Amino acid sequence: MSETSFSVTDSAAKRIAFLAAKEPRPVMMRVAVLGGGCSGFQYNFSFEEQRNEDDLLIEQGGASVLVDSTSLELLKGSELDYVEEMVGAAFQVKNPNAASSCGCGNSFSV
């Protein structure tokens, strides 16, 4: 499993580092793909203190991001970004494997 199979933009790394610094203990952001959502799969973002054996760890710009091996299969070649727009700011996954996605951007199908 190569480090280049999932990437994190500088914007996302800065935001993750900022949010993680507010937590009482050191945390890493987990990016996971779960079944469900309006298109079949949905992205899930959470903070965790522990790394699992099958996790890919990406450390960038003071941020640590975890992706489990099952989610990584659906996220290969994807990029995690943090986008600030007039309607709000959010983490977004730019996933070349997604055949379609819903309007909210949190759900996709392959």
What CATH number corresponds to the domain at position 92? 2.60.300.12
Tell which wins on pLDDT, 44 or 41.
44
The pLDDT assigned to 103 comes to 55
Distance CA 8, CA 11 (A): 8
User: Can you give the pLDDT at residue 52?
Assistant: 96
On whether residue 107 sits in a domain, the answer given is no
With 0.75 as the threshold, say if the pTM is over it: yes
Torsion of CA 56, 19, 47, 28, to 10 degrees: 30
Q: Please state which of the ranges 17-31, 42-56, 75-89, 92-106 shows the lowest mean pLDDT.
A: 92-106
Residue 47 lies in a domain: yes
Q: Is residue 108 part of a domain?
A: no
Would residue 89 count as lying in a domain? yes
Rounded mean pLDDT, 76-104: 84
Tell me if 109 is assigned to some domain: no
Considering the domain boundaries, does residue 11 fall inside one?
A: yes
Residue 15 lies in a domain: yes
Domain count, the chain: 1
